Amino acid sequence: MLNIRIERTATPKTKPDYSKLGFGKYFTDHMFLMNYSTEKGWHDARIVPYGPIPLDPSAMVFHYAQELFEGLKAYRRADGGIQLFRPDKNIERMNNTCDRLCVPRIDPADALQAIKAVVEADKDWVPYDEGTSLYIRPFIIATDPMLGVHPSHTYIFAIILSPVGSYYEAGINPVKIGIEREYVRCVKGGTGMAKAGGNYAASLIGQKKAEEYGYAQVLWLDGVERKYIDEVGAMNVFFVIDGVVITPELTDGNILPGVTRNSCIALLKKWGVPVEERKLAIDEVIEAHKTGKLNEAFGTGTAAVISPIGELFDEGEKMVINNNEIGPVAKRLYDAITGMQWGKVADDMGWIEKID
C-alpha cells in the first residue's frame, strides 16, 4: 500500500469543450508523481497540481532515452460510475518494459493504487459523451544528472491524464496503409516488445514518409528478413484469410504485446472463431488478396480499439480490402470490447476494474 500525499490545486482549469477533445491535447488538474533512489526504493508517492517537472539538463532521459510509458483509459458508465479495462495487463507490461530498460520495477498493487487514486482525484474530468474517455499515461524517466552511459540510479514515475474524444466521430472509416520496405521499427533482440519512447523516435521517419504518400500509417515488416509482418503504425495487426484470423506471434520479441490484441484473441477463441498466432509473410497476404481470400485486415490498440484497413499500398500497387469497409470480424470485436469498456455489455471475462 502506498501512502499517497494529496495536494489539490488552488486554481482548477476551465474544462475544454468535450465535443472537440481530439487526442492528448488537454490535461487535467493533477498528476501522480513518485521518486526512486537506490537507497529508498520507490518513495514519496504524491498527487500534486499538474505542471512542469524540473530536471537537470544532464538528466539521463534527455540523452540516452531511458524512458518508458503505458497507455490505458478510464471509461464513464451510463450510471455515472468510472471503470478501467484490464489495468493489470498494462502494469504487467510496464514492469516487463522496466526489465528490458534496466529500470526498477514497481509493485503491481502500488501501480494500480496510483492509477486509481489519480483518476479519483480528477474524476470530474472523465467525460460523459458517447465514445469519449480519460486517457491515462503512466511513464518513467531516468533522472540521474550524469552523462556516463549507465542505468540511472534515480527515476520519476508519473501519471498524467487527458480527456480524449471518440476516435470515430464520423463512424468507423477504414484507413489506408503503406507497406514500409526501407525502414524498420525494431529488430530481433532490440526493444520492439517494450513500450519505450525511443521506439517511437525511430518510427517517425516511416510515419512521415507514409503521410507524404497519402497514407495514414505504416505496415512494418520484420527487421531481419523484411518478409514477415510486425505491426501497423503503433497498433498490432490482424488479417482474416479464408475465414482464419491471423496475427503475428510474440515469440521473436519484435511485437508489442497489446492488451487489445490479447483481448481480441481471447474473444475469438471464446466465440470459436479460428485464430492463429504465427509468422505471417507479406507475400502470403498479397497472394491471398490476388486469389480473393483476403477477407479483412485491421489494427488493434487502446486509442482506436479496432482500426479497419481499407487499402494496402505496396511499391505502386494498391490492394483494396473488403471493399474499403469494416468487416464482420472487426465489427464484432469492436462492439464486444467497447461494450464492455463503457459498461453496456456484461463483463463475462473479468476484465473490468471499477473505480467508482
Ligand X SMILES: *Cc1c(COP(=O)(O)O)cnc(C)c1O
Location of C-alpha cell 494498391:
318
Residues 239-298 within binding reach of ligand X (CB under 6 A): 256, 258-261
- Among 90, 77, 148, 158, residue whose Cα is nearest residue 118: 158
State the Cα–Cα distance between residues 74 and 72, nearest whole angstrom: 7
Instruction: Pick from 195, 254, 294, 304 the residue near ligand X by CB under 6 A.
Output: 195
Using CB under 6 A as the binding rule, whether residue 190 contacts ligand X is answered as: no
Residues 31-90 within binding reach of ligand X (CB under 6 A): 71
H or E segment at 246?
A: strand 244-247
Using CB under 6 A as the binding rule, whether residue 302 contacts ligand X is answered as: yes
CB atoms within 10 A of CB 102: 11
- What are the φ and ψ backbone dihedral angles of 50, each rounded to 5 degrees? -60, 135
Q: Which span (73-81, 230-238, 286-294, 343-351) binds ligand X, by CB under 6 A?
A: 230-238
- Among 346, 304, 313, 311, residue whose Cα is nearest residue 325: 311
Residue nearer to ligand X on the CB measure, 29 or 190: 190
Residue nearer to ligand X on the CB measure, 121 or 234: 234
Residues 158-177 within binding reach of ligand X (CB under 6 A): none
- What are the φ and ψ backbone dihedral angles of 337, each rounded to 5 degrees? -70, -50
Instruction: Pick from 65, 106, 172, 234 the residue near ligand X by CB under 6 A.
Output: 234
Using CB under 6 A as the binding rule, whether residue 231 contacts ligand X is answered as: yes
H or E segment at 333?
A: helix 328-341
Instruction: Pick from 127, 301, 327, 343 the residue near ligand X by CB under 6 A.
Output: 301
Using CB under 6 A as the binding rule, whether residue 217 contacts ligand X is answered as: no
Single-letter amino acid, residue 9? T
For residue 322, the 8-state DSSP code is: G
Residues 6 or more apart in contact with residue 122 via CB below 8 angstroms: 28, 29, 30, 134, 161
Q: Which span (4-12, 107-115, 228-236, 320-328) binds ligand X, by CB under 6 A?
A: 228-236
Q: Do the bridges between strand 133-142 and strand 154-164 make them parallel or antiparallel, or are there none, so unpaired?
A: antiparallel
Residue nearer to ligand X on the CB measure, 176 or 261: 261
**Minimal distance, residue 330 CB to ligand X, in Å:** 15
Using CB under 6 A as the binding rule, whether residue 236 contacts ligand X is answered as: yes
For ligand X (CB under 6 A), the number of binding residues is 14
**Minimal distance, residue 86 CB to ligand X, in Å:** 9
Contact residues toward ligand X (CB under 6 A) are 71, 195, 231, 234-236, 256, 258-261, 300-302
